[in-house]
Amino acid sequence: MRVFFHRSARPEAFRAKYWYADRDPHSPETFQDEFDRAIALIEAYPEAGQTYLHGTRRVVLASVPYFIVYRVHARGVTVVAVAHSKQRPGYWSRR
């Protein structure tokens, strides 16, 4: 299934990845690997993510405190947020 990104979701992923770069030079690769694995899972099995807020689903990244929020629709899947687990839940609900 095709994966689309809300215009705010990609910058969130980028900021998260490079936040780690300031702390450990290997951390951005860990984040990117986890992110890529989660996107591949969503692409192959869109219903695999647990149901979440506002009609969305989410996939939790394994080794970093982030998760991907997405909506399944007829044309594919739209990633609406790449959220930190300690961030305000549902901040992305109007996307």
Asked if residue 56 is part of any domain, the answer here is yes
pLDDT digits (tens, 9 = 90+) for 14-36: 998 888 777 877 788 888 999 99
Instruction: State percent of the chain over pLDDT 70.
Output: 100
Residue 90 lies in a domain: no
Task: Find tokens 């984040």 and name the residue.
Answer: 31
Total domain count, the chain: 1
Mean pLDDT over the full length of the chain: 91
Amino acid identity of 58?
R
Cα–Cα distance, 92 to 95 (Å, whole number)? 6
Which of 21-35, 52-66, 77-91 has the lowest average pLDDT?
Answer: 21-35
- Classify residue 39: in a domain, yes or no: yes
Reported as a pLDDT band with limits 50, 70 and 90, residue 47 is: very high
| pLDDT given for residue 24 in this prediction | 78
Answer whether residue 91 is part of any domain. no
d(CA 78, CA 22): 29
Alpha-carbon span 64 to 77, nearest angstrom: 23
| Closest to 1 measured CA to CA, from 46, 67, 47 | 46
Residue 23 within a domain: yes
Kindly report the CATH number assigned to the domain that includes residue 28.
3.30.2310.20
Residue corresponding to tokens 């594919």: 76
The β-bridge relationship of strands 66-73 and 57-60 is antiparallel
Over 90: is that where the pLDDT of 90 sits? no
Its domain, for residue 31, covers 3-84
